Amino acid sequence: MAASVQLNLRSFKAPFNLKPIAKQFSRPGRIRCAATTPTKRYSITLLPGDGIGPEVISVAKNVLKLAGSLEEIEFSFQEMPMGGAALDLTGVPLPEETLSTAQRADAVLLGAIGGYKWDKNEKHLKPETGLLQLREGLKVFANLRPATVLPQLVDSSTLKKDVAEGVDLMVVRELTGGIYFGKPRGFGTNEKGEDIGFNTEVYSTHEIDRIARVAFEIARKRRGQLCSVDKANVLEASMLWRKRVTAIASEYPDVELSHMYVDNAAMQLVRYPKQFDTIVTNNIFGDILSDEASMITGSIGMLPSASLGESGPGLFEPIHGSAPDIAGQDKANPLATILSAAMLLKYGLGEANAANRIENAVLDTLNRGFRTGDIYSTGNKLVGCKEMGEEVLKSVDSPVPTAI
Ligand SMILES: NC(=O)C1=CN([C@@H]2O[C@H](COP(=O)(O)OP(=O)(O)OC[C@H]3O[C@@H](n4cnc5c(N)ncnc54)[C@H](O)[C@@H]3O)[C@@H](O)[C@H]2O)C=CC1
Ligand SMILES: CC(C)CC(=O)C(=O)O
Ligand SMILES: [Mg+2]
């Protein structure tokens, strides 16, 4: 078994002040002409999806385009239906053409899917099923969800300033296994004639080993601490998880491994989040804990993510959902999606300079006091999704050097 992680990372560098975690993977893109400033071209599949998805994708696309153009990068965008939008249009949540277009792209940027309209659909006709199919179809097993408390947003955190200040953690979530995919699953009847619903949490050695190696590599380049979160006191799948993560630790003597039960981890995240550096966990625990971690940073509207596999395009998306409660009202915070576009450039295309432009622009926009409602605090300027995007564009255009 290979001891090193083989992820499709063209330049594996975490956002903000996090350190590069692995070899630099260069992929120069396609050179259009032999000029002194060759233009690099990438094809990006855009999946706006539902609810606030189209609102945040439209803003992030403009930011991506501008940051790219300042670095001699040209994008061709293919916008494809996905989730509820695809159900309405084609009758399925992930049309074949959407998946094949995404598979051929250099990277995929997703907004969010889901909404009340489709909540009662049968499982195979739910927008969420389309999202699981997309992750499976792109084989993106490693989902990186960085939660960093920016100094500008300490007052937006739901935690006390001294608890939130300086939090900088990375959740490494296994994304294509576990209970969201396990079989058997379904509905049935028990011996008393009652209806039952059931799912299966299942992990193989191979699935655990590969996500563990990704997490150890990341921890090695951060502060050297990896906390594996499981429920090994109860669940067999977690018992194997703990055994394999412990075994893989011998390949990483420089990383300090600890284990924590998920119920305790949920509590520790709000008690003393600074104790965490890198967290590795299964699909469902990672889903839940990253939503919890997002609030430490001020809002779920701030957290980007990168989903990567061993080959093929990465999938980049905010961690939030389609927020039907605020959809169509220009209230969504687009920063999680804009920062996901930065992760796309950095991790997906190896375009660190363009990514840095975006991250700097986000910080500059926050420094200038612009806030959507979810991160608003007294004395700042309240703006909507579109205006926030316009302010970020201004900052991309006239960068103000900011230490990140
Ligand atoms: N990756 C995806 O596409 C995901 C989709 N979903 C789907 O989204 C739908 C809504 O799910 P919820 O549980 O309500 O989770 P949600 O993340 O959509 O919303 C939770 C709360 O956070 C707020 N929020 C979320 N994103 C925000 C943003 N960018 N700016 C400001 N506020 C924001 C919402 O207004 C809401 O009050 C469901 O259909 C669900 O299945 C949920 C999670 C992930
Ligand atoms: C909508 C689900 C399929 C997943 C989810 O909540 C997430 O990935 O954050
Ligand atoms: Mg979620």
Burial of 254-277, coded b for 16+ CB within 10 Å and e otherwise, reads: ebebebbbbeebbeebeeebeebb
Cα–ligand 1 centroid distance for 332 (angstroms): 10
Cα–ligand 2 centroid distance for 389 (angstroms): 25
> For residue 348, what is the DSSP state?
I
Q: Nearest residue CA, atom 13 of ligand 1?
A: 321
Q: Nearest residue CA, atom 2 of ligand 2?
A: 128
Q: Nearest residue CA, atom 39 of ligand 1?
A: 114
Single out the residue of 135, 95, 103, 130 nearest to residue 114, CA to CA.
Answer: 130
The one-letter amino acid code at 365 reads: T
Per-residue pLDDT of 43-53, as tens digits, reads 999 999 999 99
Ligand lying nearest the CA atom of residue 288 = 3
Instruction: List CB-based neighbours of ion ligand 3 within 5 Å.
Output: 287
Single out the residue of 148, 141, 143, 140 nearest to residue 277, CA to CA.
Answer: 148
Detail the DSSP E strand segments found in 127-218: 142-148, 168-174, 186-189, 195-198
Is 263 catalytic? The answer is yes
Cα–ligand 3 centroid distance for 289 (angstroms): 9
Per-residue pLDDT of 234-243, as tens digits, reads 999 999 999 9
pTM of the predicted protein model: 0.93
Q: Please pick, among 106, 287, 364, 374, the residue that the annotation labels catalytic.
A: 287
Ligand lying nearest the CA atom of residue 302 = 1
pLDDT at 402: 52
C-beta separation of 227 from 258 below 8 A: yes
Separation of alpha carbons 160 and 270, rounded Å: 10
Q: Nearest residue CA, atom 23 of ligand 1?
A: 323
- Give the ligand 1 atom nearest the CA of 320: 17
For ligand 2, pick from 128, 282, 315 the residue to mutate: most ligand atoms within 8 Å of CB. 128
Residue with the two structure tokens 């630790």: 249
- Give the ligand 1 atom nearest the CA of 373: 31
In degrees and rounded to multiples of 5, residue 210 shows phi and psi of -70, -35
Q: Nearest residue CA, atom 8 of ligand 2?
A: 287
Cα 355 to Cα 45, 75, 172, 274, 384, distances in angstroms: 18, 14, 21, 26, 23
Cα–ligand 1 centroid distance for 402 (angstroms): 30
What domains, with CATH codes, occur in the chain?
Answer: 40-146+300-403 (3.40.718.10), 154-298 (3.40.718.10)
Q: Which H or E element spans position 122? A: none
Q: Nearest residue CA, atom 21 of ligand 1?
A: 323
Which residue ranges have their beta carbon within 6 Å of ligand 1?
52, 112-115, 128, 131, 300-301, 317, 320-326, 332-333, 336, 374
Cα–ligand 3 centroid distance for 319 (angstroms): 6
Along the 404 residues of the chain, how does pLDDT read in single tens digits? Answer: 334 445 554 444 433 322 233 322 233 344 344 455 679 999 999 999 999 999 999 999 999 999 999 999 999 999 999 999 999 999 999 999 999 999 999 999 999 999 999 999 999 999 999 999 999 999 999 999 999 999 999 999 999 999 999 999 999 999 999 999 999 999 999 999 999 999 999 999 999 999 999 999 999 999 999 999 999 999 999 999 999 999 999 999 999 999 999 999 999 999 999 999 999 999 999 999 999 999 999 999 999 999 999 999 999 999 999 999 999 999 999 999 999 999 999 999 999 999 999 999 999 999 999 999 999 999 999 999 999 999 999 999 976 555 44
Cis preceding-peptide flag for 184 (omega within 30 of 0) = yes
Q: Nearest residue CA, atom 34 of ligand 1?
A: 323
Ligand lying nearest the CA atom of residue 307 = 2
- Give the ligand 1 atom nearest the CA of 326: 35
Which two tokens mark 225?
A: 């601490």
Which two tokens mark 195?
A: 């209806």
Is 106 catalytic? The answer is no
Cα–ligand 2 centroid distance for 379 (angstroms): 34
Q: Please pick, among 42, 106, 126, 180, the residue that the annotation labels catalytic.
A: 180
Is 117 catalytic? The answer is no
Separation of alpha carbons 393 and 51, rounded Å: 23
Phi-psi region of 62 (alpha: psi -120 to 50; beta: other; left: phi over 0): alpha
pLDDT at 398: 79
